[in-house]
Amino acid sequence: MVNRRNQDLKNLLVFLALLVLINIISSFFFSRIDFTKEKRYTLSPVSKQLISNLDNDLQVTVYLEGDFPAGFKRLRNSTNDMLSDLKAYSNGKLHFDFINPSQGDAKSQESSYSQLLEKGIEPTNLSVKTEEGLSQKTIFPAALITYKGQQIAVKLLQNRSGASPEEVLNNSIQNLEYAFVSAIKKVSSGGKPRVGFTEGHGELNDLQLNDAMKSLADGYEVGRVDLSVIPLTGLDKLKLLIIPKPATAFTEAEKFKIDYFVMRGGRVFWAIDQVNAELDSLRGAGEQLAFPKKLNLDDILFKYGARINYNLIADLNCVQVPVNVGNVAGQEQIQLLPWLFYPIFIPTSAHPLVKNLDGIRSEFSNTIDVIDVKDIRKQVILSTSPFNRIVEAPALLSLQMVEQEPDPKAFESTAKPVAVLLEGSFASNFKNRPVPAGVEGSLDIPEKGKPTKMIVMADGDILKNQISSTDGSPFPLGYDRYTQQQYGNKNFLMNVADYLTDDSGIIELRNKEVKIRLLDRARIREEKTFWQTLNLGLPLILLVVSGIFQHYYRRRKYAR
């Protein structure tokens, strides 16, 4: 009996020693098994590599804390899980905490809100059900990343018009890895990539580009570029060149500099209108002749694989604009009416550039033809709705058009491309041509440039923020001051900049999907009583059966 007890004690000590040894070994190695079908708890290799290469402490402060409805609690918990995963691969460099900015009295809350707004973190109003009814609550579904004295805000809630609250929250959860990893990449990359907006051709001015440049400034070094004076060595320092709605022609020397930039792997975002048309001119004169611009860019775009047509898109899926519909007692009657020439482009492509984006607001857009160019990959990323009509320029436009009810049959068509992505080694537009006058130095133009990519968008107004008529301050990019609706223009611009300037493949994380597996509501109604009875009764039955079995077993065992 004593020997058996000693053997049992020895086995217990061996088991405890093995358990301690396994824990010690596991503290040096991290591993996990993800049983979910879509691998929602598995970080991508690019995320693991980025987070493991941090050489300093990185602090993440999440402001999604407090008493929330179930959906926002799920977003909060998913954020906590994502940061825990990133922390596990950070070699102890990543630290995070959750803060409730609504704590304290009204004065402290106002101070916290002001500080968050200064850091680019915007609030969201949330309706919460209480015993007294609905109450409005201000929340900040965002995080702030701090690394080596630099800070960058991360938006956690991805709003999308027309989507249900469940879809919005699910899209937000899907986007968490991309949102955090992209921000960490920007804040930890050392020097910010340089982005230049061209000027000197009647492009959008600094006030019209205020929010576009301000939004990019968090992760990029942003400025204006005058192609007529910048040397070629200056272009070598740029990562991305944005051409925002030029109005006058480019010279051959300026086009040569763009071509030089592309041949050396530079990235370009062309945001171009081919037709001169403005709503302000229509309001002043009542009608306007929309005529083609002369930008002198057709040949270089054609060489790269795209042609922006001299036409205008009239689309039934469009923005509403204020129009004076008459006078009553000397007062103008302003009414919001759909303006067909301000299309809203709803992304349908699965490309990470536009995946889960809200509709993108445009003004007087054109169509694009994709040219078959060897070794260049082409993909349409934005299109019109299937209910559109093309108006060839020149054309006479009038505000009286808003008073005419459009015939849906006249707009039945196919979706037309308005933005295309081109990738590959582009052929030079100046191959076998002399260097134009105005370009210093003799340069050899290669037959094929370095692999690069560019986006051609047939509308420059997607980069333009509206201006307040009262104090002249700029509104956020994509915000419509008349309908008070926020469109996806800003997120589209940020995705474009991320995709064109980064080759690590981080934007591919936007393809990650987390499926919502909801219960069948019809079966719930039909089988509710059965499952309630089963869940309540079965444990009691098992408990009684096990008690009876144990009772008879003990009687038989000790009766002997």
pLDDT digit string, tens, across residues 408-425: 888 999 999 999 999 999
3 state DSSP class of 187: helix
Is the model's pLDDT at 249 over the cut of 90? yes
Is residue 162 very low, low, confident or very high in pLDDT (cuts 50, 70, 90)?
Answer: low
Helix and strand totals (H; E) in the chain: 13, 25
**Residue 385 corresponds to which tokens in the numbers above?**
């709705």
Q: Is the peptide bond before 394 cis (omega within 30 degrees of 0)?
A: yes
**Residue 9 corresponds to which tokens in the numbers above?**
């004690």
**Residue 70 corresponds to which tokens in the numbers above?**
């179930």
Candidate from 123-137, 279-293, 309-323 with smallest mean pLDDT:
123-137
Cβ–Cβ contacts within 10 Å for residue 335, how many? 12
- Number of residues written out for the chain: 560
Candidate from 29-33, 58-62, 156-160, 426-430 with smallest mean pLDDT:
29-33
> Average pLDDT, stretch 163-174?
77
pTM: 0.76
Give the pLDDT confidence of 451-505 residue by residue, as tens digits: 999 999 999 999 999 999 888 899 999 999 988 888 999 989 989 998 999 877 7
Half-sphere exposure of residue 540, counting CA atoms within 13 Å on the CB side?
Answer: 6
Is the model's pLDDT at 506 over the cut of 90? no
Candidate from 27-36, 258-267, 388-397, 412-421 with smallest mean pLDDT:
27-36
pLDDT averaged over the chain? 85
Tell me how far apart the alpha carbons of residues 245 and 278 are, in angstroms, rounded to a whole number.
12
> Which residues 6+ apart lie within 8 Å of 518 measured at CB?
166
Give the pLDDT confidence of 262-291 residue by residue, as tens digits: 999 999 999 999 999 988 877 766 788 999
Phi, psi of 237 (to 5 degrees): -85, -10
Is residue 314 very low, low, confident or very high in pLDDT (cuts 50, 70, 90)?
Answer: very high
Cβ–Cβ contacts within 10 Å for residue 405, how many? 6
Is the model's pLDDT at 306 over the cut of 90? yes
Is residue 560 very low, low, confident or very high in pLDDT (cuts 50, 70, 90)?
Answer: low
Give the pLDDT confidence of 76-130 residue by residue, as tens digits: 998 998 999 899 888 889 999 998 888 877 788 788 888 888 877 878 776 655 5
Predicted pLDDT of residue 97: 93
Question: Got the DSSP string for 240-282?
Answer: EEEEE---SPPPHHHHHHHHHHHHTT-EEEEE--SEE--HHHH
Look at residues 449, 437, 80 and name the one whose alpha carbon lies nearest to residue 268: 449
Q: Is the dihedral of CA 260, 263, 266, 268 positive or negative?
A: positive
Bridge partners of 387? 412
Question: Got the DSSP string for 328-356?
Answer: ETTEEEEEEEEEEEEEEE-----STTTTT
Predicted pLDDT of residue 477: 93
How large a percentage of the chain has pLDDT more than 70?
88
Predicted pLDDT of residue 390: 95
3 state DSSP class of 144: strand
> Which CA distances in Å does 421 have to 284, 382, 416, 424, 455?
37, 10, 15, 10, 5
Predicted pLDDT of residue 126: 67
3 state DSSP class of 424: strand
